[in-house]
Amino acid sequence: MKGLRGATLTDLAAIEVFQRAAYARTEAVIGVRAIPLEWDYRVIMEECEIWLDERDGALLGVLILRILEDRLFLESIATAEQVSGSGVGRALMETAFARARKLGLKRVELITNGRNPAAGWYRKLGFSVDQEEQQPDRKVLHMSVPVAGDPSSLVE
């Protein structure tokens, strides 16, 4: 978790602004409201771990993890537009896997819109589609991957 810090309540406003900006790019592609933009982030902060990637005073990435009894659920992974393709997302994903290993959890799960370009990236990282759920305005992909012992097994 090099370079990351856990979020505190004082980060709430910055996280909300960041998430709106980050998910605006996704919404432009998928054509519907991104689920993380419907959340009450005060509740999310109470229920989940939130990790921030900050450099030189700028917030570059946000990782939101829900720790469940038998798995880690990746609620949100978002990066700033200016660091797209720079490895920030990969570092956040490695943090998710490191947390799962530390907690003794064997799977990481997430959901994403079937039209989200990130779905291809998740597949490259080893995630597979466990279920497709057709909703009136979107197809939700339920994806998961077993937690490997070595984070270098992640490929980008």
Condensed to tens digits (0 to 9), the pLDDT of residues 59-93 reads 999 999 999 999 999 999 998 888 776 678 899 99
Domain count, the chain: 1
- pLDDT at residue 127 tops 90: yes
Contact between 14 and 78 (Cβ < 8 Å) = no
* 115: DSSP letter: T
The domain in which residue 118 lies consists of: 4-153
Report the CATH number at residue 21: 3.40.630.30
pTM: 0.88
Q: Strands of 19-127 (E only): list them.
A: 49-55, 58-67, 72-79, 107-113
Rounded to whole angstroms, the Cα distance separating 136 from 90 reads 32
Rounded to whole angstroms, the Cα distance separating 106 from 6 reads 22
The alpha carbon of 100 is separated from its chain's Cα centroid by a whole number of angstroms, namely 14
- pLDDT at residue 16 tops 90: yes
